[in-house]
Structures are given as structure tokens and as C-alpha cells.
Structure 1
């Protein structure tokens, strides 16, 4: 498709702020929103918002709420009458599905060709919604769960409770009444300008992300059947990696070496002499081993939700053999669905590279987590950092005898 005169390749999609590929139905928009709008009209889709009809719509979470995304399309001026009603709806044809072998992806196909499948040549889907299959129901669950977790992270809700109370209490992310009240409140963390992070900001956002970690853990059905000690060990094992993933993925892109929190606090490669050397090193590792690769791979919301689940469900945690077996089965199932999703989205060659690079992040993160936990122990021992009681329970155990044993073992 040739962009209209006056269109700049630097223009942004008015719906999700991704890079626009041209004027589609009257406004600058990306291929994903163009395809979503057309499919919604052609198939006469009706969507329902699970919140209050005011979900955020941007390129990282544009697939989370279809109702709000379609409303945003209309608000920015996408014209229903601009659709060519005689054309077939976007989607794979029966002939395409019957002959999956020897499929190649050719980006030179025009928009007119993209709705007609042939045995040898099809156009790859342009948005995450198009690549779900009937076997991807778990990916939809994980994606929806991740949106709820991020809504709660942005809220003002942060209870003070022990680790045992957190792990044994009712799951909040699956409670619609609680999420309607707290998940998307009118008072959210926002910022108008950036400010360099202070020690109190680290404490605050770590506490929020550890609270969300316990709620995220309880959202897995298998987690509810684990012995309490296995629950503790699994969450403890993820105490570094999951917050790092969340902080990097949800950070606005303010440059390759900057992580921004939802209230505007940020850190970059600036050395912070007031922090222990080990925690400064962890900061640099986050930028090099997580933030940069994630942006290079261009991980979307569905892929992030699946990779986060794979990272959390780690059989390397000090848990029972039966729990390891259950976790491994669950992890393999998610990994297979993630790979299948990426192949349908990108084609086999691109998907192989992206999937491999994403999965290989796990080994780098495991090394970072081990070194970071050592830094946390040292910081706590020498009283450099004032960790909360919850943090001490999470990392050092629930009593002083266990703390001392772990410190000197």
C-alpha cells in the first residue's frame, strides 16, 4: 500500500501510538489497528469491557480490551463507511488451513491479496488477535491475568501483611468485585515529568512488585494445591526475576538505558554511591540482560505474559519432586503455545530467532538473580539497606534462626 500524500513515516497510529503505516479508514494508523477495525466491522463483532469502559490503549497492551480499542478507533475518526464491503473478511481460508506445508511469507503481497489464501503463499497476521487458535486459550488467560496484575500495580492498593498471610489469603486478581474496586481506580500512578530515583522509590516499587508477585502466584490453579513450603520457595525463587521483568516491560521507552516507574521515578547508568556495589551491578544487569534484549526482540503483550509465566514456574526452586513435576508439565505446555503463537504471528524463520533469543534470556536472568540475592544478603547484614519485614521474610526466611543459617551457609 502506498501512503497518502502528506503522510510521514514518523507519524504515529492515533489509536495505539505505534508507528503508522499509512492512512487507513481516514486516519494515520498501524497495520494492527487497521486490521482490527476492519475485522470488527466486517464480522459485526460486539465486545464487552470487563472494567469501566476506560481501559488504556497503547501499543504494549492494545490487545487487552477489544471494546476500548474499538471505541478508540471511532474516537480518533476511523470511518466505517470507508470499508469496501464487497471484500472478504480478513482471515485464513479453509484452503489455507488444509494445506499448511511449504508455506512462505511474502511481505510484497498487497492488502488486496492478503485475504485470499493459496497452498504456497499466505500473508502473516498483523496483530496478536489474529494468531490465536483454539489451543491458545491458556495464552488468552495469561494475557488477561497480566492486564489485571498491571492494573493493580498502578493502583494505590498496597496491604501490609506477612508473607504467610499474602500466600494463604484469597486470590485478588480473580476476584471481580475487588478488581472493579481497586484494579482500575480513578487515582493512579501518573507523572508529568521524570525525576531521578531515590532510595525510598526503590523500596516502594519493590514492595508493590513483591505484593503483585504473591497475587500473581495465587492466580495459577496448580499453585493452590502445593504445600505451603513449596509456595514460599517458588515465590522466593522468583523474587528477583519477576519484578525485573515487570519493571522493564512496563517502562515507557525513554531511551535504551533507562527504566521508568509509573510515578516518574527513573534510573539509568548513573552510578549511585549511596547504594551497595552489588545492587548497582544488578541495575546495570537489568539494562543489559533484560531491557535491551526485550526491546530488540520487540516482545508483545501476549509473549510477555507467557514468558513471565515460564520464568515464574521454575522447577529449579527448592520444592518437592511432585511440585517440580507439575510445574514442569505446566511450563512445557505454555512454552509450546508460545512458540506456536510466534510462528503463526511471524513465520517460522523469524519466530525461531525471536523465540530462541527470548528463551535464552532465562539463563542470563538466573545468573543475575543469584548475584542479586547475594547482594541483598550483604546489604541486609551490614545494615546498608532498610528492608521491610515482608522483604526479609521473602528473602531470608520467617525467623532469626533461619536468617542466620542462610547468611553463613
Structure 2
């Protein structure tokens, strides 16, 4: 160990010298300069005490800037002639690197060099993967509260509560099975309720969702109430062939006709097998790709929301889509990535058609009382009243 080596007082990375009055790394130096020059204002998504170290210094810009000030970075030390921000020829990077930097910036993650950009990129995907991981842990748990739709959407997300997750999701009894059994109507009810409960918690993890009015929140969740559970069921199903979806408790459905179910809901089952399960298996998407595609599917501006909400949702959706494309290019190379990315994104069209037809089937089933929907399900599909 080099005991004479100085470290950045902000993130504890190796210092590149004294910048604005303190020993700091190039990343924190550039972050501080850019924040001051651009007069940027950040917002912390938690309690304004996020950890800031070399591994997660890009996660919360508010807390990072506050720490810069706390350890003694001096705003007055900036020199306008030397510290202006603009394009210089020596900073030119290959196209993919430029795309990484722009996409990281649009996602709210600061990046000031190729190394910093890579870390920001990794931080983004760590967040996406963690959201999906905790979402699935909650789905596998035995926790299922009895709440109204308004109570669900107006409370804080359980996925952002580590104490709750540790107690109820990670340690609570999971759904397990030793053998498969064909699904019953009560099984459909149970898993639909679980997936709708998890959907509301998942929705609240998106910053753009938190900014919406209650009416827009309900419309966005209502629009996703068919497709997001279908994605969860398919991706998390063990592989028992292209015509079988297995739930975590061992219940399954396949192409077997179920005469006791409404025809529209039987048709929806076949569409899930053809339009979701089959392409998922053929594309061979991994966990990160699924997590991003699920977010893209959820953030659908076609929901019956206000114009301002549509614009905000679409902006967030474009940001996630760009990140997914960059990730796939890095992993697969551009030629294969374009093919896989295109096919994955085009699934959205056929899934939207499936959702419209399925919602009609839900309305018909409710009208003829073929299905005994719970109060929560009726609020979700037909409104709070």
C-alpha cells in the first residue's frame, strides 16, 4: 500500500491532485465544475443521506454535490476562462462512446470521461436489475395486503423499503412445488391478484410515475394491467416447452382448452403463448434485457393520460430504450444487436393488440358474472367507483 497516496475526499477514489481546494479525483472535479457552470439543481429520491463512494458516486447527484461542498470544494476557485464547458477536438470519441455519454446524461447519471461514463452505465443497469430483482422477490413472497387501489398507489413503494423486503419478501416463505398441477380458476385469481399488487409497487419506483396526478397514475397502471403480469409469468416460468407457462407454486397452463373459462380469456391464454412466450425463448433475452423491456412496456404513452403526462412518460421511455440498445450493442455486437433489439421492440405492437382484446374479455366476463372479480380488480379495470 502506498501510504503517501492521497485520495479524493468526496468518493475516496485515487486523487489526481488538488482541485478547487481539496484533493479530488478527475470524476468529482469535473462533476463539481459542471454543476456550478451549468447552475444545475438536483433532487434526492431518498432521505438526502445517500452513500457516496467510488462504486456508487453517480447514483445520487444531489448527495454527491452536497458532499463536495461539505468536504471543502470552493465555488469561487472556478475560473471562467479555464473552466468553461464546450467541445474540443481532443475530446472527440467514437460514435458508441458518444452515445453512451449522451444516454447517461439523459438518464440523470453524470459522466465526465470514458471511465466515468462506463461507471455511470454500470450504475444505471445495477439500478434496473435491482428493481426487477426486488419486484420478483415480492412476487415470490407470501405477502399480499388487502388494500384499495388508491391506498396502493398513494403509499410509498415497498420495493424501496429494505426493512420491509428483508422481513416479508426475502425471508418470508416462498412459493415452492414438488410437482406440476393444472391451473384452476382460483389459481388464476390468486396469481392475477399477486401480479397486480406487485405492479402497483413496481410502478411507484419510477420517478416519472411519482410526478403524475392520481388520475394519470391509475390510467397508466390500468393500461399495463394485462401485459406486465403476462411478462412476469412468461419470463419467470421454468422451461417446460413453448406451450407451457408455470407459476411459482407449480400450477401451469398450456394449450388445453378450458370450457369453464370465458372464450375471450381462453384466447388471451393462447396469445400469451404465441406472442410472448415463443419470441422470448427464441430471442433468448437475459435478465437485464427483460428488466428494461418490461420498463419500456410499462411506460406506455398510449395510456389515456393527460398530454403533459404523455410527454413525460414518453421521454422516460425513450431514455430506457436508448440504454437497452446500447447494452445490447455492447453485449452482442451491432449486427446481432440490431436484429434482437428490433424483434424485441416490435413485440410491443402485438402485445398492445392482445391487451385491448383481453380488456374486452374482462368487461364481458364481468358483465355476465363469469368471473368473481375482487374489489381491487374491479377498481383497477373499471375505476374507483
Contact preservation (8 Å) 1:191, 1:264: yes
Unaligned runs of 5+ in 2: 1-91, 97-116
TM-score by length of 2: 0.69
CA contact (8 A) 1:155 1:189 kept: yes
Q: Distance between the aligned counterparts of 1:359 and 1:181, measured in 2?
A: 37
- The structure that is helix-richer by fraction is 2
The reply to whether residue 237 of structure 1 matches residue 223 of structure 2 is: yes
Deviations 1:190-212 (A, max 9, x none): 00000000000000000000000
1:199-238 → structure 2 map (5 Å cutoff): 199-238=185-224
The alpha-carbon deviation at position 357 of structure 1 amounts to 0.5
Match of 1:349 among 301, 310, 335: 335
- TM-superposition CA deviations, 1:305-328 (whole Å, max 9, x none): 000000000000111111111111
> Which of 154, 158, 168 is the equivalent residue of 2:144?
158
Question: 1: distance between equivalents of 2:94 and 2:242?
Answer: 39
Corresponding residue for 1:361? 347
Q: Report runs of 4+ in structure 1 exceeding 6 Å deviation.
A: none
**1:194/1:266 contact within 8 Å kept:** yes
**Separation in 2, partners of 1:186, 1:258:** 28
Q: For residue 329 of structure 1, what is the aligned residue in structure 2?
A: 315
1:246-395 to 2 correspondence within 5 Å? Answer: 246-395=232-381
Task: Describe the superposition over 1:267-292 as per-residue Cα deviations: whole angstroms up to 9, x where unpaired.
Answer: 00000000000000000000000001
- Shift of the alpha carbon at 1:139? 2.6
Per-residue deviation at 1:189? Answer: 0.1
Q: 1:145-166 deviations in whole A, cap 9, x for unaligned? A: 0000000100000000100000
Superposition deviation, residue 133 in structure 1: 5.3
Q: In structure 2, how many angstroms separate the alpha carbons of the residues matched to 1:376 and 1:244?
A: 15
Seen in structure 2, the aligned counterparts of structure 1 residues 264 and 187 have a Cα distance that, compared at 3 Å, is same
User: Contact 1:139–1:334 at 8 Å: present in 2 too?
Assistant: no
TM (normalized to structure 1)?
A: 0.65
Tell me which residue corresponds to 1:77: none
Q: CA deviation at 1:136?
A: 4.7
1:174 aligns with 2:160: yes
Q: Distance in 2 between matches of 1:99 and 1:394?
A: 48
Q: SS of the residue aligned with 1:213?
A: helix
Counting only pairs closer than 5 Å after superposition, residues 62-81 of structure 1 correspond to structure 2 as none
Structure 2 partner of 1:397: 383
RMSD of Structure 2 on Structure 1 (CA): 1.9
Residue 189 of structure 1 aligns to a residue whose secondary structure is coil
Q: How far apart, CA to CA, are the structure 1 residues paired with 2:356 and 2:119? A: 37
Q: Tell me which structure has the larger Cα radius of gyration.
A: 2
Three-state SS of the structure 2 residue aligned to 1:226 is: coil
Offset of residue 223 of structure 1? 1.2
Contact 2:142/2:172 (CA < 8 Å) preserved in 1? no
Instruction: Give the secondary structure class of the aligned counterpart of 1:266.
Output: strand
- C-alpha distance in 2 between matches for 1:152 and 1:208: 9
Determine the C-alpha separation between the residues in 2 that align with 1:139 and 1:298: 19
Q: Is the 1:238–1:312 Cα contact (8 Å) retained in structure 2?
A: yes
In 2: Cα distance, 1:376 partner to 1:147 partner: 30
CA separation of 1:315 and 1:99: change in aligned 2, threshold 3 A: closer
Q: Distance in 2 between matches of 1:310 and 1:137?
A: 19
Q: CA deviation at 1:182?
A: 1.1
1:139–1:338 CA contact under 8 A, matched in 2 = no
Alignment of 1:187-198 (within 5 A): 187-198=173-184
Contact map agreement 1:189 1:263 (CA 8 A) in 2: yes
CA positional deviation for 1:351: 0.3
2:100 counterpart residue number: none
